Chain A
Amino acid sequence: MQLLRNKMQQATSRRPVGAAAGGDREPGPGLESAVAGAEGGGDGDGEAELLPSPFTFSSRRIFLQKEDEFFEDGDIHRHLYLQNALTSVGEVERPKVSEFCCHIAGCSQLFDTLENYEHHYNTFHRNVCSSCKRSFPSSHLLDIHILEWHDSLFQILAAKQNMYVCLVESCAEKFKASSDRKKHLIKVHGYPPDFRFDKPKKPKRKANGLSSFLPHSNQRNQDKSSHDMDVETSSCQKETTDIFCGTSTELMDHVSVETMEAESPSVSGQEKSTTMQQRPFYSYRVPATICFGHGSVRGFKNPRKKK
């Protein structure tokens, strides 16, 4: 089966001539004499008589099914090559260490291998927004986030021109609104509608009418996911240090729905609570420009000063 390439037999222009492989195709009847004719043509000047050329290769396109005998030798060869390639890789020694914790402030994930820790660090503590501490899987998504969330000029410009950049790095399209971008992602790039890294900027409001103060409030979207375009930071695992985790209990109903949305619609209802405990909470950030005074739940009980 030609799952991978075939090492020696290519069903396109290059075909090894006279290969001892089973199923080698003989060149067409006209080819040999034609080639010989061309080769022998210039030798009619008294040189010894030459046999027709044994080199019969000529470039042409041949299509063969992957089960064709022609590929047998190549398949076998490749299989053995892969096995040999695999064995050397499998013998790497992994250093054993006792369980340790991530040392980044606020992150409490535990690890028992350096490899896992390295992965964790590179994925969750690298592309971090300095304003709101969210982390992103790539610098591209981080840049988009900073632009759309923390750049005051962005809102002004966005009113006049298309500023929402497509999330696919190689795509140069820009859009008027994030909903347009989302439609583009679905239609052109085949992205799922619940793509984890494209949630609209929608701070979650309790139903107390404060939404009107927010620049992007949109009543229609209130029950929709209010997640951001990020990977929740593990800082949220430490409930006490982050007010938004503290408030999550009151928002449990909403949160659990949205967790499902972002995670997968399939996660069964019975494990909602366990999922909640396990997964860091989504943060419902209040823009720094909004102040609710001292008594508000969403105020600044957070010992960490907002920037």
Chain B
Amino acid sequence: MIRGRGAEVRSRNRACGVEEIKARRRQQERALRKARKEKQLVSKRLPRGLQGDGEEMEIRETSVTKEEVLQLFQRIQRGSDDRLAALRSLRQMLQLKETQQMFVRFENSIHVLISLFTSNLASVQLEATRCLLELSHSDDQSISLVCLPATPYLLTYLSGQSAKFTELCLYILGNLAAENEAVRNQLLVQGVIQALAICLQSPHGAVVEAAAYSLSQMLQAKEAGEKIIPSVLEANLTPHLIRLLDLDCEFGMQTAVECAWCLHYIVSSGVNSECMISQGLIRQAVILLIALGRAVGSGTTTDGMELVLMLLGNIAEMGLEYCEKLQHQTGIFPALCITLRTADPEAVRLTLEVLNLILSRCEQACVSFANQNGILALEAIQYNSNEDIRVRANFLMDKYFANKAI
């Protein structure tokens, strides 16, 4: 099974040529596609930095026996000095799916784990929490259900002051929420939305990022439109998300992208999200797009660009009024010109899509676009190697700027 840890860490540290990197990446992708076909692809958020104490978190054995796991469980139950060491070993072993399955099937194992999770001995509590984090990583729905009794404690601890611990709890919640509706329902009645709202205002960047991640896991649910998004809008979470899109607020690119995901889910859900527009969504999204464009230009790969483009496109799609707001926003057309010039064909195609949506609805936009040197950027794309892009660029030029071609 592809777990994607460890091996990749080591291989990245070796110096190698660009071609080698590309070839390896292609091979990786092939392997991942194969794994996905066999339903073996598991990719969850499991921040390794939270798990290790600087140690290498490799599993030395590739398989465990039931006796080994049972022995660990018994050492944990018995308590005293041995407990911590046993918890550490268990945590490492829980990286394996077999261990997870075995462990949850022992009588009262989860109960014991949760009671240690609420212990007042710091090292025991942290270690038990990390075990829970490993379990939350599982894609087995039954395991996430088994972890349900932990949720009231997880949510209670979100109001605590230990940033590292809060971060861990947030990732556990996010991973569990991704799994099934029963978990999400329980979290909702236990006040997860409001708890996340508080975490989003934390001064600790890691906590904010983890909170945005957890929120995105709630928002991506298929029932989100009916059950979750209205509460999120009502709880006034969106101003925080929008504020956090601005990279200048010192929390970094990753947090901004997580928040962009949350906003994207809300906008594309179809729930009326006009309030977000008045909360400055367009302005912040454009700022983020510019920053992302710059980051791509300087070589730091970013995955947020298509996301923000999709967000803008969905806003444009909401109607003429929104297109007017969009085209009115300072910096949007320069930002779109930047993304037009990137090497990523997907980003270029999305940019053309967004342009089409805006230009087709709003005449004023054509004028603004032309005034801000958009035509030059569009013309350059007419010679793009990708046919789809050429076709679309030609269409836009012919339709809106036929009499302005230079």
Interface residues of A (CB under 8 A from B): 1-5, 7-8, 10, 12-14, 16-20, 39, 43, 47-48, 50-51, 53-55, 57, 59, 61, 63, 67, 72, 75-83, 85-87, 89-94, 109, 111, 113, 115-120, 122-124, 126-127, 137-141, 167-171, 188-192, 195-197, 231-234, 263-268, 270-271, 274-275, 277-280
- Which one, B32, B44, B49, B178, contacts A80 given CB within 8 A? B32
Q: Which of B292-341 contact A (CB under 8 A)?
A: 303, 306-307, 310, 313-314, 317
Given contacts A55-B395, A169-B194, A13 and B120 within 8 Å (CB-CB): no
Q: Confirm or deny: B92 has a beta carbon within 8 angstroms of a beta carbon on chain A.
A: no
Q: Could you list 25 A-B pairs, sorted by A, with CB under 8 Å?
A: A1-B139, A3-B139, A8-B346, A14-B268, A18-B388, A48-B398, A57-B317, A61-B270, A75-B43, A79-B43, A86-B46, A90-B49, A90-B57, A109-B121, A111-B123, A116-B123, A116-B126, A117-B122, A122-B165, A169-B194, A170-B191, A171-B191, A266-B111, A267-B115, A270-B78
**Chain A proximity mask over B161-193: 1 for CB below 8 Å, otherwise 0:** 111110000000000001100000010011101
Contact B45 A4, beta carbon cutoff 8 Å: yes
Chain B contact residues, CB within 8 Å of chain A = 2, 4-5, 8-9, 12, 25, 28-29, 32-33, 36, 39, 41-50, 52-54, 57, 77-80, 83, 107-108, 111-112, 114-115, 118-123, 125-126, 139, 149, 151-153, 155-157, 159-165, 178-179, 186, 189-191, 193-195, 198, 216-217, 220, 222, 254, 261, 264-265, 268-270, 303, 306-307, 310, 313-314, 317, 345-346, 349-350, 352-353, 356-357, 360, 388, 391-392, 395, 398-399, 402
Closest to B157 in A: A137
Q: Is the CB of A85 within 8 A of B4?
A: no
What residues on A are CB-neighbors of B32 within 8 Å?
A: 75-76, 79-80
Q: Known pairs A111-B123, A189-B191; list 20 more (Cβ under 8 Å).
A: A1-B36, A3-B43, A5-B216, A53-B356, A54-B392, A54-B395, A59-B314, A76-B29, A77-B303, A82-B44, A83-B8, A85-B47, A87-B48, A113-B53, A119-B126, A119-B165, A123-B122, A137-B156, A189-B190, A264-B112
- Complex CA distance for A165 and B318, rounded to whole angstroms: 43
> Which chain A positions have C-beta within 8 A of B198?
169
Top 4 closest pairs, chain A to chain B, by CB: A266-B108, A120-B122, A90-B48, A170-B194
Contact B349 A18 (CB under 8 A): yes
CB distance from B168 to the nearest CB of A (A): 10
Find chain A residues with CB under 8 A from B391 CB.
54
Find the A residue at minimum CB distance from B51: A90
Is there an interface contact between B178 and A92, defined as CB atoms closer than 8 Å? no
Given A116-B122, A141-B156, A10 contacting B115 (CB threshold 8 A): no
Contact assessment for A3 and B44 in the assembled complex, using a CB-CB cutoff below 8 Å: yes
Q: What is the CA–CA distance of A85 and B261 in the complex, to the nearest angstrom? A: 16
> B43 — nearest CB in chain A belongs to which residue?
A79
Q: Are B42 and A14 in contact (CB under 8 A)?
A: no
Q: Is B317 in contact with A13, judged by CB distance below 8 angstroms?
A: yes
Contact partners of A91 in chain B: CB under 8 A: 9, 49
CB-CB under 8 A for A169 and B191, given A14-B313, A123-B162, A189-B152 = yes
Report the minimum CB–CB distance from B95 to chain A (whole Å): 13
Given known pairs A7-B306, A138-B160, A169-B191, the reply for A82 and B4 (CB within 8 Å) is yes
Which residues of chain B are within 8 angstroms of A77 by Cβ–Cβ distance? 303
Asked, given contacts A3-B139, A4-B220, A80-B29, whether A12 binds B268 with beta carbons under 8 Å apart, the answer is yes
Q: Which residue of A lies closest to B139 (CB)?
A: A3
Q: When chains A and B are docked, how far (Å) is the Cα of A126 from the Cα of B231?
A: 31
Greatest chain B CB density within 10 A among A53, A63, A170, A231 is at: A170
Verify A1–B41 contact, CB threshold 8 A. yes
The complex places the Cα of A208 from the Cα of B58 at a distance, in Å, of: 58
Question: Which residues of chain A are within 8 angstroms of B77 by Cβ–Cβ distance?
Answer: 267-268, 271
Contact A4 B36 (CB under 8 A): no
Query: A76 CA to B37 CA in the complex, in Å?
Result: 11
In the complex, the answer to whether A92 meets B152 with C-beta atoms within 8 Å is: no
Contact of A4 among B12, B44, B195 (CB under 8 A): B44
* Pair B156/A197 contact, Cβ less than 8 Å: yes
The docked-state distance in angstroms from the alpha carbon of A167 to that of B4 is 40
Would you call B402 and A55 a contact (CB within 8 A)? no
Does B159 contact A7, Cβ atoms closer than 8 Å? no
B270 touches A79 (CB 8 A): no
What is the bound-complex CA distance between A75 and B190, given in angstroms?
31
Q: How far is the CA of A19 from the CA of B309 in the complex (A)?
A: 14
Smallest beta-carbon distance B387→chain A, Å: 10
Please, which residue of chain A has its CB at the minimum distance from the CB of B198? A169
Q: Taking CB as reference atom, which chain B residue is nearest A102?
A: B122
Counting chain A CB atoms within 10 Å of each CB, which of B159, B163, B269 scores highest? B159
- Contact between A7 and B160 (Cβ–Cβ < 8 Å)? no
Task: Tell me whether A72 and B36 are in contact in the complex, defined as CB-CB below 8 angstroms, given that A264-B112, A266-B112 are known contacts.
Answer: yes
Task: Determine whether the beta carbon of B112 is less than 8 Å from that of A76.
Answer: no
In the assembled complex, the CB of A248 is this many whole angstroms from the nearest CB of chain B, namely 16
Whether the pair B53, A94 counts as a contact (CB closer than 8 A) is: yes
Q: How far is the CB of A67 from chain B (nearest CB, A)?
A: 7
B28 vs chain A, min Cβ distance (A): 7
Q: Report the minimal beta-carbon distance from B265 to chain A, rounded to whole angstroms.
A: 7
A232 touches B29 (CB 8 A): no
- Judge whether B43 and A4 touch: CB under 8 Å: yes
Judge whether B399 and A87 touch: CB under 8 Å. no
Check A265/B111 contact, CB under 8 A, given A5-B220, A13-B270, A50-B399. yes
Q: How close is B299's CB to chain A, nearest CB, in angstroms?
A: 14
Out of A3, A61, A137, A192, name the residue touching B159 (CB < 8 Å).
Answer: A137
Which residues of chain B come closer than 8 Å to A168, judged between CB atoms?
155, 190-191
Q: How far is the CB of A97 from the nearest CB of chain B, in Å?
A: 12
- Chain B contacts of A2 at CB under 8 A? 220
Q: Whole-angstrom distance between the alpha carbons of A43 and B189 in the complex?
A: 55
Closest to B122 in A: A120
| A10/B310 in contact, CB under 8 A | yes
Q: Is the CB of A119 within 8 A of B353?
A: no
- A10 touching B264 in the complex, CB below 8 Å, given contacts A54-B392, A169-B191: yes
A8 and B261: CB pair below 8 A? no
Residues of B within 8 A of A10 (CB): 264, 268, 310
How near does chain A come to B207, taking the closest CB pair, in angstroms? 12
Check B47–A279 contact: CB distance below 8 A: no
